[in-house]
Chains A and B, each alone.
Chain A
Amino acid sequence: MSDAAPTIQNRLRDEILPPLIILALALGFWELSVKILDIPPWLLPAPSDVVDRFFKTTTLWYHTGLTVLEALAGFAVSAVLGVSLSAGIVHSRFLERGVFPYVIVSNAIPIIAIIPLLTIWFGFGIAPKIMICSIISFFPIVTNTTRGLKATDRRIIEFMRSINATRLEILLKVQLPSALPFIFASFKIAASLALVGAVVAEFYSSDRGLGYLIITSATQLRTDLLFVAIVVLAALGVSSFMLFGYLERVTTRGERSDETQ
């Protein structure tokens, strides 16, 4: 945009390099400590062992894919239902008063408590996991989107009404675009919650997925595999966080740039 925009090289040096250096130092310290103190691998595997296990575990991508699929499907269901419900809540006082208490209830019930119930009803397959992911990510999406839709400049809405715009036009042209930063901020939270939901659901009742991998490797004291699963989960969480964080930033560019000038 402006000529002061950081170049790729500058960003690499200023933003990417420092955390990489810290990581390298920490890993080196870890590796050395394990080797020098001769810590048994079931207690704490060396980073090199974890990397080794990562490449040797051929089924890793199958488990990861399944967990991602569950989380993504649940999140997608919540995103569509949540944003639609928010649009309804903003346009109807009845819906707001009638539905919002239950949205709060859905957040108050501990998700762990529902997993056995959903397993009784829907079995050990993928369906109950998707439901868990969807329930756990629903609340932040609805609350944030509703807040964003309500935060629209009242005057723009008055302007739209004065030219006889329909509610749908106001929603699509004004309210939704102005709520996008709020929506992506909620997606950022919801996506990581969905991932947690998938793993927790797999803990309880599954024979595949990253959650299953974690539980079995822990019970068999295959700590290196446990670390692999954790690292993969962390990487997934960070990527979804970065994706939606980026979308959030892009959509707020207009409001934010006053401070950068």
Chain B
Amino acid sequence: MEARRQRDPAFSEVPAPPSVAASGPAFPCIVLDRVSLRFQSERRRVQALSDISLSIAEGEFVALLGPTGCGKSSLLRLVSDLLAPTAGTIAVRGEPAAAARRLNQFGFVFQEPALLSWRTTLGNVQLPLEVVGYPPEKRIARCEELLDSVGLLKFKDAYPHELSGGMKQRAAMVRALAWNPSILLMDEPFTALDELTRGQLQDDLLQLWNHERKTILFVTHNISEAIYLADRIVVMSPHPGRIKTVLRPDLPRPRTDDFHETQEFMKWTRMAREALRS
């Protein structure tokens, strides 16, 4: 088994866990150590993730880049303790993921806004505050402040069906930040949006991230989105999902729209594409 793994070219490219940890800053926020995930369906066993080792620093913006079926979304659910790994361990600030979940450390954003249709924008953003026990008298002020920062304050009394796709996704983003969790988990949050709106939301996200420095795990299959947003890009391959390579573009911030035309951006896009293809 071990010998076969050594000969596997994809595997040999995976950086060993210690080197990843060593290359990150001193305070790892999330550490995955040889994590595997198998789904047992009635007919067959599906190896969703195989031997994932990754260390994410406090305040780092990490993109998980890969094609459909490479287990990127499952990885987010493992980190947030919605799924349990079949093998390996996950630590969030030295504690098991379940402990971090109990402390409401995770803000989750999905591809669909997943808002409650019977609640207004303000009501939707308030939902997590009711659950995590945020002081009631501060709830509305906190929500309005966040809604204002993404230009949704005017629409605080609107219902989801009265909002555009971009507005809904902004509301979902604000909902995941409302109680100020330290880790933001984003599962292809902008995939369903049109090009222009996506650009705006990317900038909104970077601005929010600038404001309240979060650790962000951002799943995407869009190469330029990954390079535009992230500090580090984890390139994954499917069947079973594993880490192919880790890119660290280290490009200057703040990034604006013309960032897309820079030489550096092109170079890293090419590298990411090659990494995905190889």
Contacts and interface: CB of A to CB of B under 8 A. Distances in A.
Interface string A156-178: 10111111110001000110011
B85 interface: no
B188 to A, nearest CB: 12
Contact of B132 (A163, A177, A254, A261): A163
Contacts of A258: 161
Interface of A: 153, 155-156, 158-165, 169, 173-174, 177-178, 180, 251, 253-255, 257-258, 261
Secondary structure at chain A's binding surface: helix, strand, loop or mixed?
Answer: helix
A174 B128 contact: no
A164 B176 CA distance: 13
A164 B110 contact: no
A154 B275 CA distance: 33
Contacts of B179: 163
B160 interface: yes
Given A158-B108, A159-B108, A255 B117 contact: yes
Secondary structure at chain B's binding surface: helix, strand, loop or mixed?
Answer: mixed
A164 B102 contact: yes
Contacts of B91: none
A254 B108 contact: no
- Taking residues whose C-beta sits less than 8 angstroms from the other chain, chain B's interface range is 20 to 34
Contact of A173 (B112, B130, B181): B130
Nearest to B117: A254
B114 A160 contact: no
Given A163-B128, A258-B161, A153 B82 contact: no
Nearest to B104: A163
Contacts of A180: 118
Contact of B159 (A158, A165, A173, A254): A254
A156 B114 contact: yes
Contact of B106 (A162, A169, A177, A178): A162
A60 B101 CA distance: 63
B131 A251 contact: no
Interface string B88-121: 0000000000000110101010101010111000
B114 A177 contact: no
A254 B161 contact: yes
A253 B127 CA distance: 20
29 contacts: A155-B110, A155-B114, A156-B114, A156-B116, A158-B82, A159-B110, A159-B128, A159-B176, A160-B131, A161-B82, A162-B81, A162-B106, A162-B185, A163-B131, A163-B132, A164-B101, A164-B102, A164-B104, A164-B131, A164-B132, A165-B131, A169-B131, A174-B116, A177-B118, A178-B116, A178-B118, A180-B118, A253-B159, A257-B162
Contacts of A161: 82
Interface centre among B114, B118, B179, B185 (most CB of A within 10 A): B118
